[in-house]
Structure 1
Amino acid sequence: MKIKIILTLYDEAMRYKKEYLIDFINGRMRKRDLYIYSVIIGGSWYLGLLIAWIFFPGFYSIFNNTISDLGNPNLNPFPGFQIFTITCLITGIGGIPVSLYLYRHIIRYSRRLAKIAFSLNLTSLISLIMIGIFPNTGNVYYIHSIVAFINFLSSFSYILVYWLGLIFYTRRIPKVERFISNTIIILMISILTVNIFLLFYSTISKIIQIGIISTIILRFSFLEWLFLFTGGFQLALIVILVPNVLK
């Protein structure tokens, strides 16, 4: 009798875990779990890049080397480029539950905005996976360049859409909190816009060889790394603000 009760309780526990896991993957998670999971995925991304950087032979400079160089098998042989590839795969796949969580929160306020933000977010994650699969060398160089461009453009776009959504749909919170929230958002949008503008300016200047591209702070590789950290910081703020502002 006792064994039967234990087995029944075990089955119930397993069923609960299975249901919770399915809900978790689909973005139906507790706020606390969202924060913990986001820290794990975000931390894995930056830690993976750091480890790939450590294995990079010779001197790696953020002013001369792009992020993709960490995944170049010619520049960063085993195990460096494999670590970069695995990091891109883990982050790209692991980011989907977070994007679904944000989608489920925003859709209660605007179905159109939620769909646009989720589509851009998903595009960014898929292109990140492809960046890991197709290195910036050999016959797949152009594929890498295209997906890298898509990744930056979609990342900038979905972060911007999230910020705009937070501005438009914060009317229900107290005025003081709304003022603080909107001030932070406007500041983040300004930083994001300047960063992406300089990034595109750097790219165009390099192609047509005009401007002051030789300036260190305007080099593409440096701006790319700058966007990596500013964009990551802003995404972290979005993950914190969305469940607290769009209740």
Structure 2
Amino acid sequence: MSIRKSINKARSKFYNKVTSYTFMKYSSLLVLIGYILLLIIGVTVAALFDPDGYTIWKNWISDLGSSNHTPTPILYDIACIIAGSMTLPLTFYMENLLAPLPYYDETLLRKQHFSRLRFRLSSFAFLFSIIGNFGYIGVGIFSADRNYQSLSILGEGPHNIMSYLAFGGFTFGAFFMGWLTVLYKTKIPKILGIYGIFGPLITAILNLIYGTPLLEWFLLFSILLWIIPLSLFVLYKPGLIPR
């Protein structure tokens, strides 16, 4: 076997492993438990030890990653890296689930194709979700304490850039996946799809207009209110669990 074939075989095996239902299930559960727990602990520690008193209505989320506000900024950094990396399998799994390949219908004796709009919506949902995943990993790597100005682009430090990518990626990922679940049969509740279209997007627009710490927190909550129910439906709804 040539080196190229060996690499392709190993890559295919790795992809099938990390996008399998079992791997997606445990990685999603790690996010649901680990990320939320670390976030709660991080906020609690900051509220107790921030010299000025940490609250969600006067402090930015990124302050959780700053030693000026908390003695344990590493908690938020780890939470971001866990959330960004461990939701990658869910992103790939949802892409496979919602944009399946054409299949041969033995009853009709011909290949069945799905609409181009469905593939486009799923492609945009996948692309923006991936951007959100890597953006959130970047938030953990380039925290408020590591917002190196030497890496600034157009006056924005790496932490700010990664924050825009994370929030923007997850917001538009929810938007396009929401349209997909509303327009097509996906076994995901359409009410959740409607929320995915409007919830994070409206909150993101308000955050861009007014730019307050509380609205930034609301944007995070609006994204979690999309991802958590979606994860639970995929994990536990019988029609979405492979047999």
Give the TM-score normalised by the residue count of structure 1.
0.70
Residue 16 of structure 2 is aligned with which of 3, 9, 23?
23
In structure 2, C-alpha distance between the alignment counterparts of 1:167 and 1:105, rounded to whole Å: 15
Inter-CA distance 159–188: structure 2 relative to 1 (3 Å threshold): closer
Q: Does 1:99 align with 2:107?
A: no
RMSD of aligned alpha carbons: 2.9
Residue in 2 aligned with 1:233? 225
2:161 maps to a residue whose letter is I
Residue 48 of structure 1 is aligned with which of 38, 57, 75?
38
In structure 2, C-alpha distance between the alignment counterparts of 1:49 and 1:241, rounded to whole Å: 23
Alpha carbons 1:73, 1:135 under 8 Å: kept = no
In structure 2, C-alpha distance between the alignment counterparts of 1:143 and 1:195, rounded to whole Å: 23
Alpha carbons 2:66, 2:73 under 8 Å: kept = yes
Residue in 2 aligned with 1:86? 78
Q: Deviations over 1:109-147 (max 9, x none)?
A: 543333222211111111111111112256347211111
In structure 2, C-alpha distance between the alignment counterparts of 1:148 and 1:197, rounded to whole Å: 15
How many aligned residue pairs are there? 201
In structure 1, C-alpha distance between the alignment counterparts of 2:44 and 2:240, rounded to whole Å: 40
Q: Does 1:167 align with 2:159?
A: no
Inter-CA distance 55–122: structure 2 relative to 1 (3 Å threshold): same
Note the C-alpha offset of 1:68.
Answer: 0.6
Q: Deviations over 1:50-80 (max 9, x none)?
A: 2222332232100111111000133223xx1
In structure 1, C-alpha distance between the alignment counterparts of 2:131 and 2:196, rounded to whole Å: 22
1:158 maps to a residue whose letter is G
Residue 69 of structure 2 is aligned with which of 69, 75, 79?
75
Alpha carbons 2:178, 2:195 under 8 Å: kept = no
In structure 2, C-alpha distance between the alignment counterparts of 1:185 and 1:228, rounded to whole Å: 18
* Structure 1 residue runs without a partner (length 5+): 1-18, 204-219
Inter-CA distance 82–155: structure 2 relative to 1 (3 Å threshold): same
* Structure 2 residue runs without a partner (length 5+): 1-11, 101-113, 150-155
In structure 2, C-alpha distance between the alignment counterparts of 1:135 and 1:196, rounded to whole Å: 21
Note the C-alpha offset of 1:187.
Answer: 4.3
More helix by share: 1
In structure 2, C-alpha distance between the alignment counterparts of 1:23 and 1:182, rounded to whole Å: 29
Note the C-alpha offset of 1:22.
Answer: 6.2
Alpha carbons 1:52, 1:70 under 8 Å: kept = yes
Alpha carbons 1:117, 1:161 under 8 Å: kept = yes
Alpha carbons 1:166, 1:242 under 8 Å: kept = no
Alpha carbons 2:172, 2:201 under 8 Å: kept = no
Residue in 2 aligned with 1:156? 171
In structure 2, C-alpha distance between the alignment counterparts of 1:187 and 1:95, rounded to whole Å: 20
Note the C-alpha offset of 1:246.
Answer: 7.5
- Secondary structure of the residue that 2:39 maps to in structure 1? helix
Structure number with the bigger relative contact order (C-alpha 8 A, sep ≥ 6) is 1
- Secondary structure of the residue that 1:55 maps to in structure 2? helix
In structure 1, C-alpha distance between the alignment counterparts of 2:34 and 2:240, rounded to whole Å: 27
Residue 209 of structure 2 is aligned with which of 201, 210, 220?
201
1:23 maps to a residue whose letter is N
Note the C-alpha offset of 1:164.
Answer: 0.5
- Secondary structure of the residue that 1:42 maps to in structure 2? helix
Note the C-alpha offset of 1:151.
Answer: 1.3
Residue in 2 aligned with 1:142? 157
Q: In terms of Rg, which structure is larger?
A: 1
In structure 2, C-alpha distance between the alignment counterparts of 1:105 and 1:22, rounded to whole Å: 15
Alpha carbons 1:48, 1:84 under 8 Å: kept = yes
